[in-house]
Structure 1
Amino acid sequence: MGAKEESVELKAQGNKYFAGHEWLNAIDYYTKAIDLYDQDPLYYCNRAQANIKLEQYGYAIADAKKAIELDPKCVKAYYRRACANTAILQSREALKDFKTVVRLEPKNQDAKLKLAECEKIAKKIEFMRAIEVDDEPSAFEGLDIDSMAVDKSYDGANLGKEMTQEFVDDMITRFKNGKKLHRKYVYQIIAAVRKIVYDEPTMVEMEVQEGHKLTVCGDTHGQFFDLMELFRLNGFPTESHYYLFNGDFVDRGSWSTEIALLLYAYKWLHPSAFFLNRGNHETDDMNRVYGFEGECKAKYSEKVFKLFSESFSALPLATLIGKKYFTLHGGLFSDDKTTLDDVRKLNRHQQRQPGQQGLMMEMLWTDPQTVPGRGPSKRGVGLQFGPDVTKRFCENNGLEAVIRSHEVRMEGYEVEHDGRCITVFSAPKYCDSTENKGAYINIGPDYKLDFHKFDAVPHPDIKPMAYAQNSLMSMM
């Protein structure tokens, strides 16, 4: 059998893994096929689609570009590059490719619809960025919560001036049954937590006391019923059982408001024992595209989204656990000179959104890589850092390891960079399409890391991205 024939078999094996939602194995076999025969554009197209499933949009764009170089009329390649650029909010680049698809296949109605949707997204993003101003009035300004009345027909627990365990328990029951909170209580919760987190430092520093434990959770992405499973297995938050949620509470999953409100309620109930780090999905641009804005509007109101948006921008960006574990959503920095003191000094309140560069962007967006040094981001946003970068950062700052989230891991977590970089991801069967486990890490007073995995549980028949305002995102 020649190399070309063998590559066809490898591609077929990759297709089987892709059909089984085993994206990493699919990429492995597509790569083997390309190594044997690198002149078939479909090999690159297939690998691009698997990279899209893993949110490796930078890699997907590179694969699609190679396919187009091999075949300038490869419609699939333009289509997939457009989807990848849409995912990283590069709508203008996506528009060019959707227009090319329509030109090459003028009868492709699906492509025409995607082109129209992409045009809407591009206009909306440009409009929202154009009207953003630094001194925009607070969404909380003029919000008279005390004067709001709760309808007599409301059948849930009442909330006074302080959060109670009774209210949290009732909230969980309501959410499980598909019910909402009263508008007044939503406003109360967001307002109270915004004030609490605004006053916290950019890097919260905490210790695990004797007789206590801390659970570190990664992305939950609106998968409320899986969060309930995590709590069932590991215990609910208390004053002696701390929790740290490491960003990306919202978007993609269709119970993002439920998760955000519940985590906020726990933060209000246990302000010194419950911790929240901001993720790259606690940002306006992502929320507008990946569903959280649409969900807020559908379940509550646009006002609720604006209040959440302002509260997200107040969240801390990192937590230092026992002076040993630097915990943040994305990862490390473009400059080796960056230290924990630089994070401490970062005034996150001066810049509500992370932008395209700087410490905040890097803390929310970067990823580890296996090779030394730094490299371009597989996402198309931020950068990647190697084991040598992690080693220097830990040694320079007296750390044992960096704990981060931001990426699916098939076993729910991964320890890499010689044990110095730990990824934890807490959304099992991510987006109902990836066969991954979820995980969380328990840390006691001895600061040993105790990893736990868990499986997804059934949920009501509402698909991920149900509240995204366009069908483009549902393909990601």
Structure 2
Amino acid sequence: MDGTSTANVEHAEELKLLANESFKANKFSQAIDLYGQAIELNGHNAVYWANRAFAHIKLEEYGSAVQDATKAIEIDPNYSKGYYRRGAAYLAMGKFKEALKDFQQVKKNCPNDPDATRKLRECEKAYQKIRFEEAISANDTQRHSVADSIDYHSIEVEPHYAGARIEGEVVTLEFVKKMMDDFKNQKCLHKRYAYQIVLHARDMLHSLPSLVDISLPDGHHFTVCGDVHGQFYDLLNIFELNGLPSEENPYLFNGDFVDRGSFSLEVILTLFAFKCMAPSAMYLARGNHESKSMNKIYGFEGEVRSKLSETFVELFAEVFCCLPLAHVINEKVFVVHGGLFSVDGVRLSDIKSIDRFCEPPEEGLMCEILWSDPQPQAGRGPSKRGVGLSFGEDVTKRFLQENNLDLVVRSHEVKDEGYEITHDGKLITVFSAPNYCDQMGNKGAFIRFKCPELKPGIVSFSAVLRQVQSSPRRCGVAHAHAHAGRAAVAARPMPSRR
């Protein structure tokens, strides 16, 4: 369809208006579909492509956003919104050099626009910082573990400190309850105990293989949670609904504990504390946000620096490299943050042998584990995120058959009900951050498996009151960084109507 007839042009405009309404209602998938229908009728309108790019950005589908924004620029090389949207997508992907070029073009086209000026300065600052850090890293040929330089025993706890305390070396349930209660009331944990928790968790995680086998006796149950993203009060709600972690009530949190939400530090300290209290009560997998590059962009680095110190920033980066990449429950359920692989024939032994003690690479098995997504069509396709790939039902079924498994459980994507069952029931996506980013309106969910059947029992839940969750922190430092990542992604649209 050439999209040139008057009827097509008029219908496309009607679809665009419907898409705009869906966008305003935070129904971004619906908006993408409607913009797509408009594009089919009139593919020569740059606005449609740029608007769809913005909707892709809202769903963190940055690869697709870059493609759509590029198409808008091809149609109209002077269309500033095309450059703005593409720059925002590149910025969210950590591709600062590419983003800088686009925001420079926006500034050239709109020299008096304050938002364009702000984004350009933000991008220039980020790019300069990355280049500086790369220069330092290149000259530092003998990097030492920051964990080895920390002696938490020597840190004095002031007499006036009234928060949770670890007596000796053992993290107890009483301590964890007190710590969570303090966090709930927006009180701080002393850095001595924060160091103790993170260092002990590091030792435990470091000793694990890249793929962890979990064995459960008959009659027992096991809970898998998806992304939490710093939503501490929703984490508390999960424990309220499903019980605190214990050896009789074990959990697996499937990556993306941090970033986006304002209380990522409280989330990760709570999960690590339960791991220290009872290793078989808390299993933790790495997500794509447990990495330096993501933490710089999406808020965790700034939050940790604000609430604790630069040393803790380095320590968390080191500990995140110790997180296992996948888990298998009773030799039947494969649990991984992102998804499957660009090649067939990957065995569980291949995953177990991955050297994970590094920042995630841009390709290969480790990258795909953290970044891939399922797709409805068969085969494999490019990633809508710009990293990893998309894989179909046939890929899932072959992987399960080759490894004598029954089910893939993954996270990584927001879903309206907190979960989605796809690939003929062989793949479940679970996402545990309700009303993600304070705007998506989605539910959260977790999955309870009972042995020996391992039939997934899915529980959906709504977000807790958000005015508590997103309030600023104290600790003597204004919490200016909590939403920095969110703002960096594209936040405000450029002035003018869509």
- How far off its partner does 1:420 sit? 1.6
Aligned equivalents of 2:39, 2:151: Cα separation in 1: 62
Q: Identify the residue that residue 196 of structure 2 maps to in structure 1.
A: 188
Question: Which of the residues 401, 420, 423 maps onto 1:414?
Answer: 420
Aligned equivalents of 1:285, 1:71: Cα separation in 2: 32
Question: Which of the residues 431, 454, 465 maps onto 1:425?
Answer: 431
- How far off its partner does 1:182 sit? 0.3
Moved more, 214-223 or 416-425: 416-425
How do 1:321-470 residues align onto structure 2 when only pairs under 5 Å count?
321-349=329-357, 352-445=358-451, 446-459=453-466, 460=468, 461-462=470-471, 466-468=482-484
Question: Which of the residues 246, 255, 272 maps onto 1:247?
Answer: 255
Q: Identify the residue that residue 149 of structure 1 maps to in structure 2.
A: 156
Deviations along 1:75-119, one digit per CA (max 9) or x if unpaired, are 111100000000001111111111111111111122112111101
TM-score normalised to structure 2 length = 0.92
Letter in 1 for 2:191: R
Q: Identify the residue that residue 66 of structure 1 maps to in structure 2.
A: 71
Deviations along 1:43-93, one digit per CA (max 9) or x if unpaired, are 111111110000001111111111111111111111000000000011111
Letter in 2 for 1:325: V
Q: Identify the residue that residue 316 of structure 2 maps to in structure 1.
A: 308
Aligned equivalents of 1:241, 1:470: Cα separation in 2: 34
Aligned equivalents of 2:39, 2:200: Cα separation in 1: 55
1:285 and 2:293 are equivalent in the alignment? yes
Letter in 2 for 1:50: A
User: Secondary structure at the residue paired with 1:272?
Assistant: helix
Letter in 1 for 2:21: K
Aligned equivalents of 1:158, 1:7: Cα separation in 2: 63
Q: Identify the residue that residue 476 of structure 2 maps to in structure 1.
A: none
How do 1:121-132 residues align onto structure 2 when only pairs under 5 Å count?
121-132=126-137
Aligned equivalents of 1:462, 1:29: Cα separation in 2: 35
Aligned equivalents of 2:490, 2:112: Cα separation in 1: 22
User: Secondary structure at the residue paired with 2:284?
Assistant: strand
TM-score normalised to structure 1 length = 0.97
- How far off its partner does 1:469 sit? 6.8
Q: Identify the residue that residue 269 of structure 1 maps to in structure 2.
A: 277
- How far off its partner does 1:134 sit? 6.9
Aligned equivalents of 1:425, 1:36: Cα separation in 2: 35
Structure 1 contact 140–307 (Cα < 8 Å) conserved: yes
Aligned equivalents of 1:474, 1:208: Cα separation in 2: 45
User: Secondary structure at the residue paired with 1:168?
Assistant: helix
Aligned equivalents of 2:308, 2:241: Cα separation in 1: 31
The gaps in structure 1 that reach 5 residues or longer are none
Aligned equivalents of 2:367, 2:326: Cα separation in 1: 13
How do 1:166-181 residues align onto structure 2 when only pairs under 5 Å count?
166-181=174-189
Q: Identify the residue that residue 473 of structure 1 maps to in structure 2.
A: 489
Moved more, 213-222 or 25-34: 25-34
- How far off its partner does 1:157 sit? 2.9
Deviations along 1:411-468, one digit per CA (max 9) or x if unpaired, are 1111111112211100010000111110100001121100110001113243896352
Question: Which of the residues 140, 145, 153 maps onto 2:147?
Answer: 140
Q: How many residues align?
A: 474
Aligned equivalents of 1:412, 1:398: Cα separation in 2: 28
User: Secondary structure at the residue paired with 1:348?
Assistant: coil
Q: Identify the residue that residue 163 of structure 1 maps to in structure 2.
A: 171
Deviations along 1:319-372, one digit per CA (max 9) or x if unpaired, are 1111111111111111112111101112223xx101211221111111111112
- How far off its partner does 1:17 sit? 0.8
The gaps in structure 2 that reach 5 residues or longer are 1-5, 473-479, 493-498
Q: 1:470 to 1:240 in 2, by over 3 A?
A: closer
Letter in 2 for 1:260: I
Aligned equivalents of 1:469, 1:215: Cα separation in 2: 30
Structure 1 contact 374–386 (Cα < 8 Å) conserved: yes
User: Secondary structure at the residue paired with 2:381?
Assistant: strand
Moved beyond 4 Å, runs of 4+: none
Letter in 2 for 1:386: G
- How far off its partner does 1:142 sit? 2.6
Moved more, 129-138 or 329-338: 129-138
Question: Which of the residues 38, 41, 65 maps onto 1:36?
Answer: 41
